[in-house]
Amino acid sequence: MARLVMHVDMDAFFAAIEQRDDPELLGKPVIIGAQPGGRGVVSTASYEARVFGVHSAMPISEAHRLCPDGIFLRPDFRRYKEASDGLMEILRSISPVVEPVGIDEAYVDIGGLGRLLGPPTEIGAETKRRVREQLSLTASVGIGPNRLIAKIASDRQKPDGLTVVAPEQVVAFLAPLPVGDMRGVGRKTVPILHRMGIRNIGDLQRRSLEELQGSLGANQARALHLQCQGISSDSVGHQQERKSISKETTFQVDERDFDVIRETLLVLACQVGRTARKEGLAGQKVTIKARLPGFVTYTRQRKLLEPTLGDLEIFRTGIELFKAAPFAKGPFRLVGIGIGDLVPESAAKPMLMADASERRAQRLYQVLDTIRDRHGEVISLGKPGKKRGG
C-alpha cells in the first residue's frame, strides 16, 4: 500500500487566535512578540502585517520601523496551547497516526484511509473544514507521498490552501520552485548554487551528484540530490529522541544585577524541571548559557553524580557554574539553563531512597506542577518597575 502523508500548518497561528478572540483586530496588522522599544523578535505576524515585510524572527525594532501602525501584542501561550490541543484532537479523529512537530503543525499518515474518507483531496478538505468549524481558524494542507513533498505543498497556497501532489507529479511539482525552498539550503548555500547556475530545483535535477559534490561537499550534495528528486522519508509518528531540555530568556536591557540573574535562573530551572517531569525524563548534565553585549555567547556544563529532574538541584548547579565563570559579572543580554544526557525518570533516585529533605522537595514539585497545570505559569522576574523580556 502506497504511503500518503498530510502536513497541516496553521495560518499565522498566534495572530489568528488574537483576531478570532477580538473581532476588532480583524483585518489589521497584528504582530505577536515583544513590545516596541524592547528587545525580542516577532513570534508571528498576521498576513496584514506581512504585507509590510514583517516576518517571524525579525527584531521587534525592525518590525516597528516597517509597520509603525501595527498592533503589537505579547503572546498568550495558554490560549495558544488550548487551540493547539484542539488541533491535535481533530487530526487524531482523522488518523490514528499523528506526529506534532510544533504547536501549530503536524504530519498525519493518511495512507489507507481512502475507503473511509475518500481520495486525498477530500481528506484534506475535510481536515480544513473541521479546523474551521471547531476552532474558527484556517489551516493550509499539503498532501504527498512523503514528508518533504507534504511540507512543501502546504506552503504553496497559503493561507487556507490545499495542495495535493501525486507520486507521478513530484518531479514536475518541484522543478519550478526556487532552490531556497529545499531543506538545508540557507543563506550560505544559495549563493553557491546560484554561482553554479542553479536557480530552481529543476536546474538542480539536471546536475549530477559528482558536480554537486565538487562545490558542496559529499553530505550536503547527497542530501540535495535526493531531495530534488522528491526522495524523502514517509515515516510519521516516530519522533526523534529528545537530547536536552532547556529554557532561556532575553532581557530588554543588559542586566548587571546578579540578584536578578539568580531569580531568573531559578524560574528557568523550575520550568526545565517541570518539563522533565511531564515527559518522564531526568538529566545527567546541567548546562548554563550566557549572552553578553555584542552577541558573544558562552556555555558551561557540569556532569552530575546522579540524574535529576529536581528544580532546586538544577538551579543550584547552574548558579554554581555561573559564579565560577569568568563572565559572571556580566552584563547579560540573555541567560539560560538546561539539562542534557537525558535518561528515563526511573533512573533518578526514587523517593524511597531519598533523604527527608529530598522527599519533601519531590512532594513539593508534585504540588507545584498540579498548581501550574491548573493556573499556568504566573511568575514575575526582576525588580519592581523593571520590565523583562522572556
Dist. CA 74–CA 43, nearest whole Å: 9
DSSP calls for 116-175: HH-SHHHHHHHHHHHHHHHHS--EEEEEESSHHHHHHHHTTT-SS-EEE--GGGHHHHHT
> 53: domain CATH number?
3.40.1170.60
Q: Are 196 and 206 in contact (CB under 8 A)?
A: no
Write down which residue in 166, 194, 228 finishes a domain: 228
245 CB neighbour count, 10 Å cutoff: 23
> 295: domain CATH number?
3.30.1490.100
Give catalytic residues, as residue numbers.
105
Write down which residue in 196, 228, 260 finishes a domain: 228
Which percentage of the chain shows pLDDT scores above 70? Answer: 87
Indicate whether 358 and 252 sit together in one domain. Answer: yes
Domain-embedded: residue 49 = yes
Indicate whether 255 and 305 sit together in one domain. Answer: yes
Indicate whether 223 and 329 sit together in one domain. Answer: no
238-247, 253-262, 349-358: least confidently modelled range = 349-358
187: confidence class by pLDDT, cuts 50, 70, 90: confident
360: confidence class by pLDDT, cuts 50, 70, 90: low
The reported pLDDT for the residue numbered 339 is 95
Cell of 317: 548547579
Question: Residue 10 pLDDT more than 60?
Answer: yes
Write down which residue in 27, 58, 77 finishes a domain: 77
The reported pLDDT for the residue numbered 106 is 94
Q: Are 262 and 348 in contact (CB under 8 A)?
A: no
Secondary structure element (H or E) that encloses residue 30, with its range: strand 30-33
Cell of 347: 533512573
Indicate whether 224 and 281 sit together in one domain. Answer: no
Question: Residue 95 pLDDT more than 60?
Answer: yes
Question: Residue 48 pLDDT more than 90?
Answer: yes
Indicate whether 276 and 342 sit together in one domain. Answer: yes
Cell of 50: 506581512
380: confidence class by pLDDT, cuts 50, 70, 90: very low
Indicate whether 353 and 255 sit together in one domain. Answer: yes
Domain-embedded: residue 4 = no
> 214: domain CATH number?
1.10.150.20
238: confidence class by pLDDT, cuts 50, 70, 90: low
pTM of the model: 0.65
Mean pLDDT for the stretch of residues 129-155: 96
39 CB neighbour count, 10 Å cutoff: 18
Indicate whether 203 and 274 sit together in one domain. Answer: no
Dist. CA 46–CA 363, nearest whole Å: 43
The reported pLDDT for the residue numbered 382 is 37
137-141, 145-149, 186-190, 192-196: least confidently modelled range = 186-190
Encode pLDDT of 291-319 as tens digits. Answer: 988 778 899 999 998 888 888 899 999 99
Cell of 165: 501532489
Indicate whether 275 and 354 sit together in one domain. Answer: yes
The reported pLDDT for the residue numbered 379 is 41
Domain count, the chain: 3
Indicate whether 252 and 340 sit together in one domain. Answer: yes
Indicate whether 224 and 338 sit together in one domain. Answer: no
Please state whether the peptide bond connecting residue 331 to the residue before it is cis, i.e. omega within 30 degrees of 0.
yes
Q: Are 15 and 74 in contact (CB under 8 A)?
A: no
Phi, psi angle pair for 311, to nearest 5°: -55, -50
Domain that holds residue 37: 13-77
Indicate whether 218 and 292 sit together in one domain. Answer: no
